Structure 1
C-alpha cells in the first residue's frame, strides 16, 4: 500500500477519539488507512458496484485481523463510530460497505493548492488533475450571519449531543450542566467541554449510568467540573454508631429482666 492520508490534530480533541478506548482507536486508524482514495468497480458474486473514495468493502473478521483486535472490539467500535456520525455502513450477506462521513473534507479534497493533483508521486492511479471549479455567478440574497457567540453555543450543544448518542437522559444531564455553567457566568468553551467529557469518560470507563450520576451531582452542587460520587462516610459512621447503641440497649434489657432494680436510665447515652 502506497501514499498517505491526512490525520488532523483536531481529531485529538474530538469525542470520536477522546472517548474511545485504545482498541477502538486502533480500529479507527485501520479504517482510515484502508478506505479507498479513488473509485473502483467491485464484484461480489457476479454483482458489480462501485466503491467510492472514503469507502471500503470488508467484514468483521477481516477488519479484526487487519487491526489486530477481536471481532467483538470491532463490532463495539463500529457501533460507536456510527452513533457519533463518523461513518455509515451497509451490511450484506457477503460483507459490509463502510463509508467515512466527510472523507473528502478530512483529506482536503475541496480546498485549493494542496489537492490530489499536487501529490502525484504518492497517489498512483491518478491520470489527470482535479478540474478547477467553475466560478459561481449566481446572485444570492444576503443571509444574516450567525454571531460568533451563537455559533460557539451551538457547537457546545452539538458536541454534547454527539457524546451522549442515543442516551437522552445523559444528554439532558449534560445540557443542564452546561446551562448551569452559563448561569454561573462560567460558560464552557469547546476545549473545556471536550476536556471535561474526556475526564468523565475516564472516571466511569464509559459507564453511562455512572456518567449520569456524576453529572447530576455537579448540577446539584453547582460544580464547574466532574468528580466521583463519594459515599457519605459520616452518615455511614453514624449508622454504625447507632447500631452499636441498640446492641447495648438489648444487652442491658436482658439484664433488666432478671434484675430490674439495677436498671438506671441515666446509664444510657441518649
Structure 2
C-alpha cells in the first residue's frame, strides 16, 4: 500500500513559535494548512483559472477554512495575516479563493532522502563491524 502523502512531519520547535502557539485556534489552523498542502505537483483552480501547485501549496478560501475548523471567518483571516506577517506563509488572494504557500515546506517536509541515506550508511557500517569481528 502506498502511503505517500498520508502523513507529515511535526517539528517539536513549533512549540517555541509564538505565533502558532498564540492560542489553540492558531495552532489548529497551522496544522490544518500543513495537512491540506499538496505533497506533490498537481493542478487546482485559482480565481477560475487552472494553475499548477507545487508541494507546500494549497488553494482554499476563508469560508472553507472556517467551516472545516469551526473558527470564525474573521479570525481565520486574522490568523492567516499573522502567519503571512511572520513569513510562515505567502498568500495570493482572488475574489473566489486564495493560493497559500507554506514557506520552507521542503526544509521541514522534504523527502528525507538525506536522512534515509545516512541511516543506510550507518546500517552498512554497523553490519560491517559485526561481520569483521
TM over 0.5: yes
Distance in structure 2 (CA, Å) of the matches to 1:31 and 1:45 = 19
Structure 2: gaps of 5 or more residues: 118-133
Residues 36 and 53, structure 1, Cα contact 8 Å, conserved in 2: yes
Distance apart, 1:114 and its partner CA: 3.7
Deviations along 1:144-173, whole A, 9 cap, x unmatched? xxxxxxxxxxxxxxxxxxxxxxxxxxxxxx
1:24 aligns with 2:26: yes
C-alpha contact 1:108 1:114 (8 A) present in aligned 2: no
SS of corresponding position for 2:95: coil
**1:75: Cα distance to partner?**
0.7
In structure 2, the residue corresponding to 1:112 is in which secondary structure?
helix
Counterpart residue number, 2:127: none
Unaligned stretches of 5+ residues in structure 1: 116-270
Mean alpha-carbon deviation: is it higher for 63-72 or for 31-40?
A: 63-72
User: After TM superposition, where is structure 1 displaced by more than 4 Å over at least 4 residues in a row?
Assistant: none
Residue aligned with 2:87, SS: coil
Deviation at 1:38, TM superposition (A): 0.7
Contact 1:27 1:67 in 2 (8 A): yes
CA-based RMSD of the aligned residues comes to 2.2
Aligned to 2:14: 11
Higher RCO (C-alpha under 8 Å, 6+ residues apart)? 2
Residue aligning to 2:108:
106
Return the structure number with greater strand share: 2
Q: Which has the higher helix share?
A: 1
Q: Normalising to structure 2: TM-score of the pair?
A: 0.76
